Chains A and B, each alone.
Chain A
Amino acid sequence: QSALTQPASVSGSPGQSITISCTGTSSDVSDYKYVSWYQLHPGKAPKLLIYDVINRPSGVSNRFSASKSGNTASLTISGLQAEDEADYYCSTYTASRTRVFGGGTKLTVL
């Protein structure tokens, strides 16, 4: 199972919005609602930002939103803050009864 495709890096200035894409295939992202997004700060445990494509767990800022179109899921962070600088990963269930993560995207807040 190949990793989902994410851009290696994105950047934005404080207050701006950025979008991270996550591209899979018809056997994973396209066919299932189990797309989730995670934030990783160095030395800390991953944090769930989005589950079931568009849902935010309680306690996650509404600056984080997500969507899906065909084989591509997207995470948007609005009103960028310095604390958003981190690595971001998407994940989904697949037709092979496995789970796959994206390669990760490093967000730099300029």
Chain B
Amino acid sequence: EVQLVESGGGLVQPGGSLRLSCAASGFTFSNHNMNWVRQAPGKGLEWVSYISRSSGAIYYGDSVRGRFTVSRDDAKNSMYLQMNSLRVEDTALYYCARDLHYYDSDYWGQGTLVTVSS
């Protein structure tokens, strides 16, 4: 069974940092492109970042580029999101999502909540 489990969320002050993790199981992690997608309270889905197989291609949304860094460790079946210079508007439920092929996320985790507040 495919499982994606996010962790690392929590309460952080503006300007602070957090590192999110996504632990994958039930499939060959190295064969899949991966994404981070977030949903702010009462808002819609917002794509955050994409990392391809073997980390050959990495892309970011305009609102996080330069502040967030995505990475993966295929040996540990894990993906990470290093979030720096956090802003109040980064408050959201952060999902880890696996792509079936390209930009078509067929499995999602349950999300980890990030709250940026003073």
In the complex, number of A-B residue pairs with CB atoms less than 8 Å apart: 68
Interface membership of B95, Cβ < 8 A: yes
Q: CB-CB < 8 A to A89: which residues of B?
A: 44-45
**Inter-chain contacts of B97 with A (CB < 8 A):** 46
Task: Report yes or no: B44 in contact with A48, Cβ–Cβ below 8 A.
Answer: no
Number of interface residues of B (CB under 8 A): 25
Chain A interface residue number, banded: 20 to 34
Cβ–Cβ < 8 Å partners of A47 in chain B? 108
Tell me whether A48 and B106 are in contact in the complex, defined as CB-CB below 8 angstroms, given that A89-B45, A99-B35 are known contacts. yes
| A1 in contact with B95 given A36-B105, A101-B47 (CB within 8 Å) | no
State in angstroms the CA–CA spacing of A102 and B101 once bound together. Answer: 20
**For chain A residues 12-59, which have a beta carbon within 8 Å of chain B?**
34, 36, 38, 40, 45-48, 51-52, 57
